[in-house]
Structure 1
Amino acid sequence: MDDSGSGHNPGDGDDEVAEVDPEGSYCRYKEPVGKGRFKTVFRAFNSQIGIDVAWSKVSAESNHLSEDQLHSVAKDMMTGLELDHPNIIKCFRCWEDSEHRCINLITELFTSGNLRQYRNMHKHLDLKAVKRMAKQILRGLQYLHGMNPSVTHGDLRCDKIYVNGHSGEIKIGDLGLATLLPYRWEEHEGHKGVFDTSVDVFAFGLCMLELITLKQLDPQHCSNWPDLLAEVQDEEARTFIAKCLGSPEQRPTAEQLLADPFFAVKQVAKPASGMDGELNASAKNLSALQSDQGGEKRRPEDALSSGAGGGDSGGEASIAVGRLKGEDYEFCFKADTMEGKLHFLLTMLGVTKPGETDQLRRDIEFVFDPETDTADSLAGELSQQFNLSPTDTEICAAALKEYLAKELGSEAND
């Protein structure tokens, strides 16, 4: 594409452009810039006004959607075109491609990434900055919940909130995927599949807790939030988050939270970095997912290298060691030791969605050599082979690290 942005025909010799929209205004580039459970995101360009945008594609094939389900998803996503608020991602175009059985969505592009990525890059974040982010998220929720009928996001997480690093602007994204949402909340907090605005308030509380503690928290992996809440040093912040994470009938609305004294009272700013801010991403994810560690924090690398299993709760774990549930799969590792190497059987069970009866099962055998192999490299290979989402790749590595920590720790104690 030339500097003017006028060349938008994929057949004009421009190898970067993969597709244009039916009206010829938007050009999609080939290389994806992000991938989630339901969709793949590409960088695109509006050749009419000369701005970068994001082009998301939801495939019926990869999401196992029938024609009726695909139409329903398209209808959900098109509701985003009607939303207009400074803290909600702006949607420009949305259309269903019947020939390729996919849905295309054009939205704003935020070059600073999502809030989780941004927070991990800036570990020493003042509580005053966290408040500023929180107020913008709440304003977006207040707008959605105040619509008639009210709009519930249903899957609010730090990786679905986007940041403009130059201005500090925060916007909620990934709306309109209600048909695709798995039963993440069905067995949690008594919601049992009932999605109302209180679900978003609880999820907002988890986002706040993640911003302050630097521990990744998602709706399906938040059983250890009371321990993390106890780590919050600022008393007012701890009280504010506790209100969001209370029982559904006692949770305040987004409007009530915006009027909370937490925002009105001026106080001395305190660092909001977590106690283990030096941990790398996989270590933090592992710590956040391990609800059986009794609040103890440890590096998985330390456990692997020293054999110190640590944190054994004496059978009180809610999830078996080496078994973690991700977005699309539940990962379960088992192994036997032969000639100094671990011979593994990995079982990947597909996470079923409401109404599904058949569960996908994959059994993979492999040999793991602790001298040369790593959990992250193995998870990366599995990700490429089975097209795992980024979250599932991290969870797969975390499950293997936990199993290895236990296995090598047991050998060290023999």
Structure 2
Amino acid sequence: MADAGTSTGQHNAGDGDDEIAEVDPEGSYCRYKEPVGKGRFKTVFKAFNSQIGIDVAWSKVRADSNHLSEEQLHSVAKDMMTGLELDHPNIIKCFRCWEDQEHGCINLITELFTSGNLRQYRNMHKHLDLKAVKRMAKQILKGLQYLHSMSPSVTHGDLRCDKIYVNGHSGEIKIGDLGLATLLPYRWEEHEGHKGAFDTSVDVFAFGLCMLELITLKQLDPQHCSDWPQLLQEVPDEEARAFIGKCLGPLDQRPTAEQLLADPFFAVRRDAKLSGLEPDGNGSARSLAPLEQESGQGPKMRRTDDALGGPGVEPEVGAGEASIAVGRLKGEDYEFVFSAKTVDGKLHFQLTMLGVTKPGEENQLKRDIEFVFDPETDTADSLAGELSQQFNLSPTDTEICAAALKEYLAKELGNDAND
């Protein structure tokens, strides 16, 4: 799968047809003329799905610029088409791929990530807490675990921070630029350590370098990095240094992506910060698995307080569990009612979303969702983003939900930290 493109511009309904350079064979996607990104193997353009109405990335791999024979171009196309079969929240979604024999190129249409790749994003946000790095790392590892667990296993082979993409609004992380196995020897042709067959341990080593880059802000690529042992010693956090060391260790001792996800490095630590750096407030999306119930009717509840943590009914909690007051905030389409309890440092929330009734409406939509919020790996923005996507919340309700949670978490977690 080729990279997702990056762009800050938005498609306008009034864009003239003269800006359209190409339409796919089925007439669903329109490619614009100006490229938004360029790599060694391909050029990325912004495109538009006219049937659904969303921006996408249109990548082109050309035979002439890559010095590919017709047979090699067929092989690359076959590699890239494997991306159509991949389906994971931390892998770039591939929508369509086809070979254009007349023009000697391959076309691939994928998701468009407007916040750019992880390298660009990290350089833009230099004040980053270790908790944020952990959130990014877990998402990358989940993507690698998915690829490596396939039969046969899929090895990325060229994992770098500029091959990993970010949704800045939610902190969602996705791995891109898969399916280029035929082209990889060109990338690694001068690197003795990676000649020959690739296996999943190569991805784990490359992941370790990505972690090292996120913490040290030193650009690292697997094929151009010989000083990583010295850089590793510059990592201020002892546990982070040990975790990265496992990834970069000898081949026969290198853990798998699945083993790394279970590493103690991801255990809850309230004092884990990168030395001299402060949080930038950017979170990450996680897999929300709500226990949801819907009903057409429910009690008509009026707004009481505009901030979480206000007066309300205390939830039932067991021995040794700290209770947290019910919070309620009225949005545009929903009234959000939160209650929670803390267990082992994690917040166990119950969220009730009550549809705001309009004049003349008798029934009130009610949704009950239960979830665990881990302060070390989750954020208010990531949660609100997931709720927005899952329940099609309006931008206003999404912002209200996130703002309420931020205010609440600042109050409760701030008190914890000062105890």
After TM superposition, the score normalised by the length of structure 2 is: 0.62
Could you list the runs of 5+ residues in structure 2 that have no partner in the other structure? 1-9, 278-419
Task: Report the secondary structure of 1:112's partner residue.
Answer: coil
Q: Which residue of 1 aligns with 2:21?
A: 18
Change (3 A) 1:272 1:145: farther
Cα distance in 2 between the residues matched to 1:273 and 1:143: 35
Cα offsets for 1:235-272 (capped at 9, x unmatched)? 00000000000111110000000000000142413136
Higher helix share: 1
Cα distance in 2 between the residues matched to 1:272 and 1:114: 24
Q: Which residue of 2 aligns with 1:38?
A: 41
Cα distance in 1 between the residues matched to 2:22 and 2:256: 42
Cα distance in 1 between the residues matched to 2:242 and 2:190: 25
Of structures 1 and 2, the one scoring higher in RCO (CA 8 A, sep 6+) is: 2
Cα distance in 2 between the residues matched to 1:58 and 1:2: 24
Cα distance in 2 between the residues matched to 1:254 and 1:224: 24
After TM superposition, the score normalised by the length of structure 1 is: 0.62
Following superposition, the deviation at residue 221 of structure 1 comes to 1.1
Q: Which residue of 1 aligns with 2:406?
A: none
Runs (4 or more) in structure 1 with deviation over 3 Å come to 1-5, 183-192
Change (3 A) 1:152 1:262: same
Task: Report the secondary structure of 1:81's partner residue.
Answer: helix
Matched, 1:120 2:126: no
Change (3 A) 1:69 1:270: same
The 5 Å alignment of 1:3-402 reads 3-4=12-13, 14-182=17-185, 190-271=193-274
Task: Report the secondary structure of 1:32's partner residue.
Answer: strand
Task: Report the secondary structure of 1:178's partner residue.
Answer: coil
Change (3 A) 1:273 1:57: farther
Letter in 2 for 1:59: R
Cα offsets for 1:124-148 (capped at 9, x unmatched)? 1000000000000000000000000
Cα distance in 2 between the residues matched to 1:117 and 1:272: 21
Q: Which residue of 2 aligns with 1:352?
A: none
Cα distance in 2 between the residues matched to 1:57 and 1:246: 36
Cα distance in 1 between the residues matched to 2:49 and 2:268: 44
Cα offsets for 1:9-28 (capped at 9, x unmatched)? xxxx6221100000000000
Cα distance in 2 between the residues matched to 1:186 and 1:76: 19
Cα distance in 1 between the residues matched to 2:196 and 2:217: 28
Letter in 1 for 2:246: K
Cα distance in 2 between the residues matched to 1:109 and 1:47: 15
Cα distance in 2 between the residues matched to 1:183 and 1:113: 25
Task: Report the secondary structure of 2:244's partner residue.
Answer: helix
Task: Report the secondary structure of 2:98's partner residue.
Answer: strand
Q: Residue 207 of structure 1 contacts residue 217 of structure 1 at CA under 8 Å; is this kept in 2? A: yes
Q: Residue 11 of structure 2 contacts residue 55 of structure 2 at CA under 8 Å; is this kept in 1? A: no
Following superposition, the deviation at residue 184 of structure 1 comes to 5.0
Change (3 A) 1:3 1:187: closer
Cα offsets for 1:285-318 (capped at 9, x unmatched)? xxxxxxxxxxxxxxxxxxxxxxxxxxxxxxxxxx
Q: Residue 237 of structure 2 contacts residue 274 of structure 2 at CA under 8 Å; is this kept in 1? A: no
Change (3 A) 1:183 1:242: farther
Letter in 1 for 2:195: K
Letter in 1 for 2:239: E
Change (3 A) 1:64 1:207: same
Cα distance in 1 between the residues matched to 2:131 and 2:180: 32
Letter in 1 for 2:78: K
Change (3 A) 1:40 1:188: closer
* Structure possessing the higher radius of gyration over alpha carbons: 2
Cα distance in 1 between the residues matched to 2:189 and 2:203: 14
Q: Residue 54 of structure 1 contacts residue 106 of structure 1 at CA under 8 Å; is this kept in 2? A: yes
Could you list the runs of 5+ residues in structure 1 that have no partner in the other structure? 8-12, 275-414
Q: Residue 236 of structure 2 contacts residue 274 of structure 2 at CA under 8 Å; is this kept in 1? A: no
Q: Residue 185 of structure 1 contacts residue 220 of structure 1 at CA under 8 Å; is this kept in 2? A: yes
Cα distance in 2 between the residues matched to 1:189 and 1:249: 18
Change (3 A) 1:205 1:273: farther
Cα offsets for 1:346-393 (capped at 9, x unmatched)? xxxxxxxxxxxxxxxxxxxxxxxxxxxxxxxxxxxxxxxxxxxxxxxx
Cα offsets for 1:154-205 (capped at 9, x unmatched)? 0000000000000000000000001001365577584432200000000000
Change (3 A) 1:118 1:61: same
Question: How many percent of aligned residue pairs carry the same amino acid?
Answer: 88
Change (3 A) 1:2 1:182: closer
Q: Which residue of 2 aligns with 1:346?
A: none
